[in-house]
Amino acid sequence: MDVIMALAMAGKLSRSSIVLALLRLLPLFCGILLAPSCVATPDTVPATLLQVKAGFTDPDGVLSGWSPEADVCSWHGVTCLTGDGIAIGLNLSGYGLSGTISPAIAGLVSVESIDLSSNSLAGEIPLELGTMQRLRTLLLHSNFLTGAIPPELGGLKNLKVLRIGNNQLHGEIPPELGNCSQLETIGLAYCQLSGAIPHQIGNLKQLQQLTLDNNALTGGLPEQLAGCSNLRALSVADNKLEGTIPSSFGSLSSLQSLNLANNRFSGEIPAEIGNLSSLTYLNLLGNRLTGGIPEELNQLSQLQVLDLSKNNLSGEISSISASQLKNLKYLVLSENLLEGTIPEGLCNGKGNGNGNGSSSLENILLSGNNLGGDIDALLSCTSLQSIDVSNNSFTGEIPPAIDRLSGLVNLALHNNSFTGVLPPQIGNLSNLEVLSLYHNGLTGGIPSETGRLRRLKLLFLYENEMTGVIPDEITNCTSLEEVDFFGNHFHGPIPEKMGNLKNLAVLQLRQNDLSGPIPASLGMIRLQLAGNRLTGAIPTELGRLTGLKILDLSNNNFSGDIPPELFNCSRLTRLNLEGNSLTGAIPSWLGRLRSLGELDLSSNAFTGRIPVELGDCSGLLKLSLSDNRLSGSIPPEIGILTSLNVLNLQKNGLTGVIPPEIRRCNKLYELRLSENSLEGAIPPELGQLLELQVILDLSQNRLSGEIPASLGNLVKLERLNLSSNGLHGQIPSSLQQLTSLHLLNLSDNLLSGAIPGALSSFPAASFAGNDELCGAPLPRSSSCRAPRRLRLRLLGAEVSVIVAAIAVVSAAVCVALLYIMLRMWSNWRAVSVSISDGEESTASTVAHGKAAKWGARDGKYWKVGSVTSAAEGKYSSTSSETSVLHGKPARAVNSKS
Amino acid sequence: MAPRVALLAGAVVLLLAAGAARASNDEGDALYALRARMSDPNGVLQSWDPTLVNPCTWFHVTCDHASRVVRLDLGNSNISGSIGPELGRLVNLQYLELYRNNIGGEIPKELGNLKNLISLDLYANKLTGSIPKSLSKLKSLRFMRLNNNKLAGSIPRELAKLSNLKVIDLSNNDLCGTIPVEGPFSTFPLRSFENNSRLNGPELQGLVPYDFGC
């Protein structure tokens, strides 16, 4: 038998050199054929061990004492049978070894236990290990071993423990392992194993532990595993296994731990799982299980952890009773389709409200279901440490008796419909670390008792209807790391000692009614106080917040200059001061805030010039200085800001020309320079800003010259406003290429000549106030002298010819001709490039952010067919022609023109 | 057993903390998942901090007044990787601007869930696969520019249902079959479809199957 196997191995190696293979196998033959003489020979063991050592790299020198002079039984890591000097164990675990495992290791035929785990060994597992008949324990886990698991390991008839996981092994699990009839432990987790779990594993009657987590295994769970009657732990989490959970698993009476998490198992949870009376851990999270939670699970009296989250389980949770599951500590049912309420008797079988320690439940996580009702039933679960019922439809109030749960650490009730106040008893939960109540309908104030929560790290109350003053006591919560009160109705000052909270990294107070100064004590990385009524100067102390990345003081009532101390906030990425009453010059030191990505100083009363130093903020994405009193010219350094997406300088007193250098800002999608006193011609270079999309607004300036034809290159542009300037000459026909344009305003200029045909679908208001402009959509009185619409009439004739041609040819249809026809049709269509567009979607979907700055007259300049223009579009016409091929109306050509 | 329970306990705390730090919508998560898929040598996604309440302070992300993500501007950003299905969760998105990058993989069908999308600009990337039929659910879509990619297959007929579509550019791909002629397609110029060597020209209704030559 052994010889046959050795020959089989030789055959396997025949691809390389048989001779070499035989040489490699020499120690094997020694083992197999000459075993009696080899085993006890002290001569061969040291030599073999030194061969094994030669394969290792030993940076720590732990094997330096392995010298032929010393007794092998004294070598580090070698264990001998007491008395007779026979080596039976090799334990080199965690010695920092790298290199490879030499096939010579198989020469250690007397060895019963090999432990090379937790090193950095690479290369393959030597198939020769499969001949070590005395081997009972093989631990190679936590290395960098590659290749497949050698099927030869199936020859290890005495092997009890095989742990070779946490390597980079791939390929399939060899079914031959089913021959190792003594196996008690198989550990193959954290590799890249693929294929199915071999059903032969089910032959292993002694198997107690099967761990296959974190591989890429496919297929189903073999029914045969139910034959492993001694199995205590079965873990196959994080694979790609599918199919149903076999009900036969209910017969695994020794099973203590069953982990099938993060696979693709489907179907219902078999009621037979309830028969696993030894089970302490059941994890089915992240599968595709459906149906209800079987009541039989309540029989699992030893169960400590039950995780059924992230499945498609439905029905009510009344089937679970923590009072029957007396040992249950974790109940995790999040992200399913469960509905109904939390059962009254969850922790108290009788449901009479005096649950005294009848349940061990410490953590209940029910988030992301469709559960409703109140949470009063949880009050009898007196051991609770974590409650997460977020993202459900719970109602009612936060029960004042919540302080009965004195061990509570995490309370997450967010994204529900809780109402009422935050009860002062919350202050008695002295272990509380996370209090997340956001997005509910809570009213009333923050109880001053909250200040007693010395361990509180996270306090999220945002998006509620809470009122009152933020209590000073909150600054006693010295562990606070993140505070978010966004979108409530808090008023009064920010507690002065807020900055004493050394661990506070996030303080979000936006959209409240806070007033008064910003406490100087604050030290943080994000400070967002937008949308309040804060007054006075921007405190110079903010300059001490050198770690500040975001400073948003927008829409308050700050006045005075930007304090020069802010220069110390060199990490600022966003500086939003818009909507205040700030005065003075825009400081040139802003150019030294090199991390700045957004600078919004709009709607203040800044004066002076735009500092050229802003060109040094090379990472700027949005620069908005609009609605101030800035003067002077736009510095050509603006062209250095090549990352710029949005540039808004509108509504100032800027003079001079538009610098042609702006062409280098070729990522601009929004450019607003309107309502200034800019003069000179529109630089043709603007036509190089190919990503302009939201708007190009140069209106209400003193621009002169002609509209550059290059603007026709801006094919993504949706709005173009050049109105109220002194532009003259003809409208370039290239503007007809602006197929994305739906808002055009060229009114109140000195333009002349015919309006290019394709632009006639814009309303007359788009062109009004240009006395010498003529043609549609302007009234007939302004019609041009020269015949202009010849081309379109010809088009009509051409259409009828084609119709006739198609009718005739298709009568005598043949496939070849058909193809030619297709080509003809293409050619015709190439000529008849559409001059009109489809219908506008509703104005509101297009309008976003600052679109409102166009003012109420917006609709006047919308293209024909848009909802807004429909009311006023008295010059527009939407009558249609009959489409050639379809015999039904299509908006193709504007017949008015 | 004990270490496993301890691990789970740790995970629970983390989960709670992370869950609480999230916005009431999961737009930030969806964007962060996109970041995880992208290789970003220029660091344009550096500011995308998942611990923030919402993604509105992230660069290249624009929100409306209700803190809903309406624009994603990552054009010309030298990012590579693929677009994942999670982007379909940005249900308030109006402008998806991912043009001129090295983005590969397929256009996920989940983009069809972006019911408020106005502009889908994926042009000049390395996208493969076919144009998902689900894009026909984008009822607000006005601009669809998928040109200069490696898209194959036929142009889904369902796109003719996009009644608001004003601009389409599918040029410079590897599309095949014929060009729809119904709905908004009755107005698109042929240059929107040029340089698709296997595209056969406009369809003649009822005479040739549209995937003729695919």
Rounded (10°) angle between helices A815-831 and A790-811 = 170
Share of chain A above pLDDT 90, in %: 66
- Asked if the Cβ–Cβ distance from A818 to B204 is below 8 Å, we say yes
Higher pLDDT, B45 or A857: B45
pLDDT at site A38: 41
Query: How confident is the model over A533-550, as pLDDT tens digits?
Result: 778 888 887 887 777 888
| Nearest CA among A415, A422, A257 for reference residue A335 | A415
Question: How far does B202 lie from chain A, in Å, by closest CA?
Answer: 6
pLDDT at site A698: 97
In the predicted structure, residue B162 carries a pLDDT above the cut 50: yes
Using a CB-CB cut-off of 8 Å, the residues of chain B touching A388 are 12, 15-16, 19
pLDDT tier, A477 (very low <50, low <70, confident <90, very high otherwise): very high
Q: Does A840 touch chain B (CB under 8 A)?
A: yes
pLDDT at site B210: 65
**β strands within A464-610, DSSP E:** 467-469, 482-484, 489-492, 506-508, 513-514, 526-528, 535-537, 550-552, 557-560, 574-576, 581-582, 598-600, 607-608
Q: How far is CA A865 from the centre of its chain?
A: 39
Task: Tell me the DSSP string of A816-828.
Answer: HHHHHHHHHHHHH
- What ipTM, to 2 d.p.? 0.82
Q: Which residue of B has its CA nearest to A439?
A: B24
User: Which of A260-264, A456-460, A491-495, A724-728 has the least mean pLDDT?
Assistant: A491-495
Query: How confident is the model over B194-212, as pLDDT tens digits?
Result: 999 888 777 765 555 666 6
Q: Using CB atoms, which residue from B4, B59, B202 is nearest to A829?
A: B202
609-638 in A: which are within 8 Å (CB) of B?
621
User: Which of A183-192, A374-383, B38-47, B50-59 has the least mean pLDDT?
Assistant: B50-59
- Asked if the Cβ–Cβ distance from B140 to A845 is below 8 Å, we say yes
Using a CB-CB cut-off of 8 Å, the residues of chain B touching A892 are 186-187
Query: How confident is the model over A394-447, as pLDDT tens digits?
Result: 999 999 999 999 999 999 999 999 999 999 999 999 999 999 999 999 999 999
- Asked if the Cβ–Cβ distance from A621 to B59 is below 8 Å, we say yes
Say how far apart CA A186 and CA A190 lie, in whole Å: 13
What amino acid is encoded at A233 in this protein?
A
Q: Using CB atoms, which residue from B140, B145, B208 is nearest to A841?
A: B140
pLDDT tier, A842 (very low <50, low <70, confident <90, very high otherwise): very low
pLDDT tier, A788 (very low <50, low <70, confident <90, very high otherwise): very low
pLDDT at site A808: 54
Question: How far does A30 lie from chain B, in Å, by closest CA?
Answer: 44
Query: How confident is the model over B78-91, as pLDDT tens digits?
Result: 999 999 999 999 99
User: Which of A148-152, A277-281, A613-617, A831-835 has the least mean pLDDT?
Assistant: A831-835
pTM of the model: 0.56
Q: Which residue of A has its CA nearest to B213?
A: A819
Using a CB-CB cut-off of 8 Å, the residues of chain A touching B62 are 848-849
Say how far apart CA A493 and CA A509 lie, in whole Å: 11
Say how far apart CA B49 and CA B70 lie, in whole Å: 18
Query: How confident is the model over A265-299, as pLDDT tens digits?
Result: 999 999 999 999 999 999 999 999 999 999 999 99
405-464 in A: which are within 8 Å (CB) of B?
409-410, 412, 414-415, 433-434, 436, 438-439, 457-458, 460, 462-463
pLDDT at site B25: 60
Query: How confident is the model over A60-112, as pLDDT tens digits?
Result: 888 998 988 888 888 999 999 877 778 999 999 999 999 999 999 999 999 99
Measure CA of the first residue to CA of the last residue in chain A; give whole Å. Answer: 97
- The average pLDDT across A145-169 equals 96
Using a CB-CB cut-off of 8 Å, the residues of chain B touching A826 are 190, 201-202
In the predicted structure, residue A585 carries a pLDDT above the cut 70: yes
Question: How far does A598 lie from chain B, in Å, by closest CA?
Answer: 8
pLDDT tier, A521 (very low <50, low <70, confident <90, very high otherwise): low
Q: How many Cα neighbours within 13 Å face the side chain of A76? A: 14
pLDDT at site B204: 65
- Contact between A292 and A319 under an 8 Å Cβ cutoff? The reply is yes
A7 Cβ neighbours under 8 A, 6+ residues apart: none
Strand order in the sheet with A728-730: A728-730, A750-754, A772-774
pLDDT tier, A835 (very low <50, low <70, confident <90, very high otherwise): very low
- The average pLDDT across B181-202 equals 87
In the predicted structure, residue A353 carries a pLDDT above the cut 60: no
Q: Which residue of B has its CA nearest to A305?
A: B5
Using a CB-CB cut-off of 8 Å, the residues of chain B touching A307 are 8
SS3 A712: helix
Instruction: Report the residue of B7, B12, B49, B161 to disrupt the A interface, i.e. the one with the largest count of A CBs within 10 Å.
Output: B12
pLDDT at site A716: 94
- Asked if the Cβ–Cβ distance from A482 to B21 is below 8 Å, we say yes
| Range from A842-851, B12-21, B138-147 that averages highest in pLDDT | B138-147
In the predicted structure, residue A21 carries a pLDDT above the cut 90: no
Higher pLDDT, A598 or A827: A598
- Contact between B101 and B127 under an 8 Å Cβ cutoff? The reply is no
In the predicted structure, residue B19 carries a pLDDT above the cut 70: no
pLDDT at site A658: 96
Question: How far does B144 lie from chain A, in Å, by closest CA?
Answer: 10
- Asked if the Cβ–Cβ distance from B201 to A823 is below 8 Å, we say yes
Token representation of residue A846 = 């297009």
pLDDT at site A131: 95
Query: How confident is the model over A713-759, as pLDDT tens digits?
Result: 999 999 999 999 999 999 999 999 998 999 999 999 999 999 998 89
What amino acid is encoded at B26 in this protein?
D
Q: Using CB atoms, which residue from B5, B57, B76 is nearest to A667?
A: B76
Higher pLDDT, A461 or A33: A461
Question: How far does A614 lie from chain B, in Å, by closest CA?
Answer: 19
Say how far apart CA A335 and CA A437 lie, in whole Å: 19
pLDDT at site A811: 56
Token representation of residue A265 = 């198992």
Query: 10 Å Cβ neighbour count for A840?
Result: 22
pLDDT tier, B22 (very low <50, low <70, confident <90, very high otherwise): very low
| Range from A749-758, A836-845, B10-19 that averages highest in pLDDT | A749-758
Please report where in the chains the tokens 């036509």 appear, as a residue: A687
pLDDT at site A68: 84
Instruction: Calculate the CA dihedral of residues A862, A866, A872, A877 and round it to 10 degrees.
Output: 100
pLDDT at site A507: 83
Please state, rounded to an integer, the average pLDDT across all residues of chain A: 83
Instruction: Calculate the CA dihedral of residues A556, A557, A563, A568 and round it to 10 degrees.
Output: -10
- Asked if the Cβ–Cβ distance from A304 to B1 is below 8 Å, we say yes
CA distances from A118 to A97, A163, A186 (A): 9, 11, 17
Domain regions of chain A by residue span: 546-789, 855-897
Q: Using CB atoms, which residue from A508, A838, A886 is nearest to B53?
A: A508
Please state, rounded to an integer, the average pLDDT across all residues of chain B: 84
pLDDT tier, B10 (very low <50, low <70, confident <90, very high otherwise): very low
Q: Does A508 touch chain B (CB under 8 A)?
A: yes
Using a CB-CB cut-off of 8 Å, the residues of chain A touching B93 are none
Using a CB-CB cut-off of 8 Å, the residues of chain B touching A864 are none
Query: How confident is the model over A856-878, as pLDDT tens digits?
Result: 345 577 775 443 333 333 333 32
- Asked if the Cβ–Cβ distance from A841 to B12 is below 8 Å, we say no
* CATH class given for the domain over A546-789: alpha beta
